[in-house]
Amino acid sequence: MESGLLDISERIDFSAVFEGIKSANRIGIQLPDGLKYYASDIARKFREEGFEVLLSGKASYGACDIDMELLNVVDFLVHFGHTKMVDVERVVYAPYRVNYTIDAELLKERIAEREVAIIGTASYAWKFEEVAEELEKAGFQVELKRGRGLELKGQVLGCNYSVLENIQSDAVLFIGDGQFHPRGAKLYCKRKVYAYSPLTREIFEVDESEFVRRRYIEISRAKDARSFGILVSTKIGQKRLDLALKIQRKAFEKSFEAEIILLDEITPLAVDNFRFDAFVNTACPRISYDDYRKFSKPIITPSEFEIIVNDTKDLSVESFS
């Protein structure tokens, strides 16, 4: 077995997965892109336990993205890499856990505030109670809450920062990788946010000014629009049809043309053939925030559409909660 798969076996509780599907015969496996390389090795582990295996070839963008077509032809679907976001019968979640330690003295040196709320993605949040103890030993007061609809304390999703509602701390400490989630936290709570990677020992204060500038440029482009395509994902954890209908009613009140478009994958190829001046994306905000350059027309979020119709300046991240 390759060393990479050995690491994966340490980071995923396969025994708990097998316990949850022991009555099954045929199993579907859905993997995020980072684990697809090991698909054959992971499938072999299931066959060694006596299961038939079918692999999902679809993208897996998060816990919101369940391959329902595969689920229809198997006894259970094992969804790797994420904790449960939506409760779907016969879906078993296999979270991916990064084992790490923190450098509390480094954090004490780099963070001026002593009251901090800690947040992170599921891969890191599973260890936050232990992390909180280490930070408190170093002199911090730690706020560790659970957001609505989330399994772990301190856990955030790109579409759910409810853990930061009504926090009392002076600053937020994001523990994990990347800039997307700490940037979202900064927009959501308007407090100082630090991002810390335990793997690289890098820490920086989040500055969202360039991101906000880019978003207002996109909003400015959409302000000239007279017609809007309102995009709704058919993915079970992203389908926000009620929100799309509200946006459509607001558009009609302002004498805009507006139609609702249902899509599995929201891509430039899928929407470019529609003759709308701009698009409102009600699915994952990452499509608007990270992929907007790929689209030939402005693609904005519901809160950004509010800026257009109500002439406000409240730019904030979306929440599914």
DSSP strand E in the chain: where? 26-30, 52-55, 76-80, 91-94, 115-119, 141-143, 171-175, 192-197, 202-205, 227-233, 257-263, 278-281, 299-300
What percentage of the chain has pLDDT greater than the value 70? 94
Domain co-membership, 161 together with 220? no
Tell which of 157, 184, 207 closes a domain: 207
**Tens digits of residue pLDDT in 13-25:** 999 999 999 889 9
> Is 200 inside a domain boundary?
yes
pLDDT value of residue 318: 56
pLDDT value of residue 321: 35
Would the pLDDT of 29 be above 80? yes
Domain co-membership, 135 together with 186? yes
Domain that holds residue 221: 210-310
> Is 196 inside a domain boundary?
yes
**Token pair listed for 248:** 């459509």
Residue 134 DSSP symbol: H
Domain co-membership, 216 together with 294? yes
Would the pLDDT of 169 be above 90? yes
For the ranges 170-174, 279-283, 290-294, the lowest mean pLDDT is seen at: 290-294
pLDDT value of residue 6: 55
What single-letter amino acid sits at 43?
Answer: A
Measured between alpha carbons, how far is 172 from 190 in angstroms, rounded to an integer?
10
> Is 317 inside a domain boundary?
no
**Tens digits of residue pLDDT in 66-101:** 999 999 999 999 999 998 888 899 999 999 899 999
**Tens digits of residue pLDDT in 224-263:** 999 999 999 999 888 999 999 999 999 999 999 999 999 9
Q: What is the CATH number of the domain that holds 111?
A: 3.40.50.11850
Q: What is the CATH number of the domain that holds 305?
A: 3.40.50.11860
> Is 179 inside a domain boundary?
yes
Average pLDDT, the chain: 91
Q: How many domains does the chain have?
A: 3
